[in-house]
Structure 1
Amino acid sequence: MRYRQADPRELEFRPWLTRAPEVRLVPTAESRLESVRRTCYADVLDRIGGSRPVRVAIYLRAAGGLDTDYWGHTLATLATARGWRVSGRRFTDAAGASFFPEFESACQYARQGYVDGILTIRRTSVPLDDETYEDRVNRLREHTTFLAFLQQVDPTSGGGAAW
């Protein structure tokens, strides 16, 4: 988890102290959200255990000239290599859209129990502000589903580590 130095206004002021208060670190918003997502991911996989294959759907956002066919195939290949079953339905939102109906459809698809999780390339592929993103992750968690990213991805070279 990454941390940032706490703002002095966030700390309790104690004028009777003879020395300056110690520097405190608090998680960055990005780090905290990643922790929430990873905890959800781990909880869902623990619940499923080895009782059945994990079922996943792929979500892509066609931004910045992203080759959705290539990345859809890459995500499906990596998921299959893990022994996961990839849904035949893929969700793709157009670049430059201000509303992302396919991401909402993917979440609904997962909440309805068709899949256990949604796979996408990276956090920036999920077009939500931090508060809305956290809400979606928590709603998915309530329905025993998760959101997973292909970590450390470089779309230009095609490299990355799975989830």
Structure 2
Amino acid sequence: MTRHSRPQAPSTTAPPGNTRLETLRRQYHREITDGTAHRGRPVRVAPYVLAAPGAGRHTDLEMIEAHARRLGRQITPSTFGDIGQVPALTERSGFDAACRYAGQGFAHGIVANNRAAITTHNDAYAHVLHHLHLRGVFLTYLLALPG
């Protein structure tokens, strides 16, 4: 999402598996946030954006932070990002750093600017969801909030 683009509704021609993956993502999100709330702790999220440096990236981070705050989430002091047109997950040092950061307990979840910022490949997305869930971390994105 850049300064010139607006959030769009999910495509009605989404690849097969999107509904199943979205249900799984929501389940993991709910498990982690409900467990955190049950312990009386605030939910902390780490923002992640896939955008070029500059005003567009800044705007995306502000949108993520505003949405998360409206939901009562705490924003981590660290934010994460990568540059490019949806590079392979193995080429995203920013996303990898966000996953490690959250997995070490600094955040309960990672909030991206959109689903495509994570990956457009369903198998890779399922792997990321499962990998994070095993570490007690949820993944969500701006259009998917609140959970």
Band of TM-score, shorter chain: 0.7 to 0.9
Return the TM-score normalized by structure 1: 0.71
Bigger radius of gyration, 1 or 2?
1
1:151 aligns with 2:143: yes
* Stretches (4+) displaced over 6 A: none
Structure 1 unpaired stretches of 5+: 1-26, 153-160
Equivalent of 1:109 in 94, 97, 101: 101
Larger deviation, residues 98-107 vs 126-135: 126-135
Q: Which has the higher helix share?
A: 2
Check whether the contact 1:59–1:118 (CA below 8 A) recurs between aligned residues.
yes
Cα distance, 1:108–1:29 mapped onto 2, change above 3 Å: same
Q: Is the 8 A contact 2:67 2:142 kept in 1?
A: no
Matched, 1:133 2:121: no
Q: Is the Cα contact below 8 Å between 1:33 and 1:134 reproduced in 2?
A: yes
Return the alpha-carbon distance in structure 1 between the equivalents of residues 109 and 128 of structure 2.
12
Helix, strand or coil for the counterpart of 1:89? Answer: coil
Higher relative contact order (CA 8 A, sep 6+): 2
Identity between Structure 1 and Structure 2 (%): 28
Aligned to 1:43: 31
The 3-state SS of whatever aligns with 1:47 is helix
Q: Could you list the per-position Cα deviations for residues 87-111 of structure 1 after superposition, in whole angstroms to 9, with x for gaps in the alignment?
A: 1111110113441111111111111
**Structure with a larger share of its residues in strand:** 1
CA contact (8 A) 1:100 1:127 kept: no
TM-score for the superposition, normalised by structure 2: 0.78
For residue 31 of structure 1, the aligned residue among 19, 22, 34 is 19
Distance of 1:162 and 1:111 partners within structure 2:
21
Q: How many residues are paired up? A: 129
